[in-house]
Amino acid sequence: MRMNADELQAELNKLWSRVNNDAVPDIKYPELPGGVDTGSPVRDASVEAMQLLRRQREAETAELRHLIALKENALRDMTDRLKSVQAELLRARQQQTQKDRQVLAEMLGVQGKLQGAQGLLKEQEDRFLKEERVLRDIAEKTRQQLAAETARWRELEHQWNQREQQYLLDVKEAQTLLKRAEDAAAKSEDRARRTSDELKNAKSAVEATLAELLAERNAREHSDQERDRALKKVAEVEEHFQELQKIWQEERKQWQELWDRERSGWDARQQELTTWEQKFRQEREAWHADLKAKEGAELKFAEQMAQNLRQSSEATHQLSGAITAMRQAASGAPEGRGLRRTIAAVLASALLAGVGLPAWQYVTRLRLVPLAGESVAAESPTGLAFDGTQLWVTEYSGRFLKLDPGHPSQQLSSWQVAASGPYHPGALTASADTLWTVDTAQARILRHATADPSVPRDSWSAPGTAPVAVAHDGTRLWTFDVVNRTLYRHEGDGPNAPTQGYPLDLDVVPTSMQWAGSELWMHDSKGHRLLRIKLLERSAAVTGQVKVSDAVISAVVRTSARGRLVWALLRDGRGGASIQRLELQGR
């Protein structure tokens, strides 16, 4: 059943108002001329254009409603996540408060112990000083007594020597007198008696002198013994003083070690607390920045959709005016029907291009879709590579890990690289049975075998002063220097191989590069994005990019029959690492 022009106009206006949801109430379809047959080419072109517009508007409305629903779901998820983060923050604050109380209690206990230790140390010092003064006084008195005794014994020895000489003289004189008396004994009996008496007296004097001499000798021996005992006592006192001084030094060293140990423990706890606070502050700032970025992206997308709607409305209004003018111009000329149909088709194509271009850009833009992820037992990982069958991870310490790409948590093998001098790999790439690493410690490139990468096959200096990324296209090696922002192509391995530079005028700090077919993908750790690089004649340009998480350390892009896969090495926030597998969609 055919509808007349008025009924068709009313039905189209009704559908248009339903599609717009009363968003543009003033827009009406142009009235069809009553004298024109509904089966005319003009009518057919108008109906086709209107139906096309209606389908486009319905598709855009459905997409917009879907996006609004997605935004509401994202808002609810963000609200739930905010609540959970707030709860976690509250628990963290409570735990931190409890830890602060424990630390304060430990500090008070340590302070009490230190005060007690300082008091004991002070008492030990006072007692040591008193003992030192007493021992010094005893030693000084002993020295004085020893000096006095020595002087007295020297004086006695001098007196004894004098007496002994006198006694010897007296003995000689007595002997002389005795001899004279014996000579004179024959002369006179009286003289003999006198001589005999003198002799007796001389003998008595000699005996008394000998007794005194013996007593002096005994006294001298006793003095020598007393002096030896005094010297021995002085030596014992000095030895005891040295032992006390040694014990005091040991106790002082132990107290110093105890103080240093307690102080180092407190410094370590304070440093750990400061590190935890800085890490928590950084995570909170990163979360706020991520939230703001997502809100900005949502707002930008909503503005783009609103602009697209405005552009489509304006194009519809212009198309309606053009159709009306065309009808008025061709109402009296039947031979212009082909021209009118051509003009209508051109206008419809223009409208389709104006409305569909933003939608095509949205559908074909680059985006990452997570597929799976597993944790990796790696300490301070720095690089990630894929050799076609296995995943490789390097650590800052110089250790290589070989992992299963399907289950990265399964470690197949590990090696510790024995390189000359300090070695800290900062980037890694693989091709067939060879691995290449960039050593950030000495700005050099090392080549390893996948069978045993512990002993490098060769090493040479990088062309730049600060190489940070390396890639291999299957034929040649590529490196990137962050100081001069240049991408170098190596025509061979070794220090004598020529290189060609491709300047990249971007503020980037890449950590990994990977060739996927003819495309070079670079992970920028500064801008937190994955860049697609196109090589020009003497330079390089970015042809596409996609945002990644700020926890990404390194990324590998692999092109297969199923599409483009991305393995990303991430920090998990607890000092560990994980590998996430994603799908890169878009053109």
3-state secondary structure 223-281: HHHHHHHHHHHHHHHHHHHHHHHHHHHHHHHHHHHHHHHHHHHHHHHHHHHHHHHHHHH
> Tell me, what's the pLDDT at 252?
73
- Residue 34 pLDDT more than 50? no
Domain contains 181:
no
Q: Which residues contact 7 (CB under 8 A, 6 or more apart)?
A: none
Domain contains 460:
yes
What is d(CA 580, CA 574) in angstroms, rounded to the nearest whole number?
A: 16
Check if the beta carbon of residue 418 is closer than 8 Å to that of residue 400: no
What are the C-alpha distances in Å from 326 to residues 32, 46, 51, 331, 339?
12, 11, 19, 8, 10
Confidence category of residue 444, pLDDT binned at 50, 70, 90: very high
Long-range CB pairs of 213-219 (<8 Å, 24+ gap) are 213/160, 213/163, 213/164, 213/167, 216/156, 216/160, 216/163, 219/156
Q: What is the mean pLDDT of residues 202-220?
A: 77
Average pLDDT, the chain: 78
> Tell me, what's the pLDDT at 31?
46
- Residue 434 pLDDT more than 90? yes
In the chain the first and final C-alpha atoms are separated, in Å, by 47
> Tell me, what's the pLDDT at 239?
83
Q: Residue 22 burial (CB < 10 Å; 0-12/13-18/19+)?
A: exposed
Q: 3-class DSSP state for residue 455?
A: coil
The answer to which of 44-58, 123-137, 190-204, 400-414 has the lowest mean pLDDT is 190-204
Encoded tokens for 137? 């006084």
Domain contains 506:
yes
- Residue 21 pLDDT more than 70? no
Cβ neighbours around 371 below 10 Å, total: 11
> Tell me, what's the pLDDT at 439?
92
Q: 461-489, pLDDT tens digit by residue?
A: 998 888 999 999 889 999 999 888 899 99
> Tell me, what's the pLDDT at 427?
92
Domain contains 101:
no
Q: Is the dihedral of CA 457, 461, 465, 469 positive or negative?
A: negative
What is d(CA 376, CA 152) in angstroms, rounded to the nearest whole number?
A: 92
Name the domain count of the chain.
1
What is d(CA 484, CA 502) in angstroms, rounded to the nearest whole number?
A: 10
> Tell me, what's the pLDDT at 328?
67
- Residue 318 pLDDT more than 80? no
What is d(CA 425, CA 446) in angstroms, rounded to the nearest whole number?
A: 9
What is d(CA 175, CA 169) in angstroms, rounded to the nearest whole number?
A: 10
Domain contains 38:
no
Q: Is the dihedral of CA 205, 206, 212, 215 positive or negative?
A: negative
Check if the beta carbon of residue 32 is closer than 8 Å to that of residue 5: yes
Q: 242-280, pLDDT tens digit by residue?
A: 887 788 777 777 777 777 766 666 666 667 667 776 776
Beta pairing class for 381-386 and 367-376: unpaired
Domain contains 289:
no
Of 92-101, 107-116, 240-249, the range with the highest mean pLDDT is 92-101
413-426 CB burial, b ≥16 within 10 A, e <16: eeeebebeeebbbb
What is d(CA 566, CA 582) in angstroms, rounded to the nearest whole number?
A: 5
- Residue 535 pLDDT more than 60? yes
User: In 3D, which of 402, 395, 400, 370 has the Cα closest to residue 381?
Assistant: 395
CA angle 539, 542, 545 (to 5 degrees): 160
Check if the beta carbon of residue 558 is closer than 8 Å to that of residue 567: yes
The answer to which of 154-168, 185-199, 375-389, 418-432 has the lowest mean pLDDT is 185-199
- Residue 240 pLDDT more than 60? yes
Sequence-ordered strand ranges (E) for 387-440? 391-395, 399-403, 411-416, 425-431, 434-439
Check if the beta carbon of residue 472 is closer than 8 Å to that of residue 431: yes
> Domain range for residue 394?
369-585
CATH number of 492's domain: 2.120.10.30
> Tell me, what's the pLDDT at 32?
45
Check if the beta carbon of residue 128 is closer than 8 Å to that of residue 249: no
Domain contains 161:
no
> Tell me, what's the pLDDT at 84?
85
> Tell me, what's the pLDDT at 362?
46
Confidence category of residue 8, pLDDT binned at 50, 70, 90: low
Domain contains 109:
no
- The DSSP-derived string for 56-73 is HHHHHHHHHHHHHHHHHH
Q: What is the mean pLDDT of residues 446-453?
A: 93
User: In 3D, which of 309, 328, 308, 347 has the Cα closest to residue 48?
Assistant: 347
pTM score of the predicted model: 0.43
> Tell me, what's the pLDDT at 385?
93
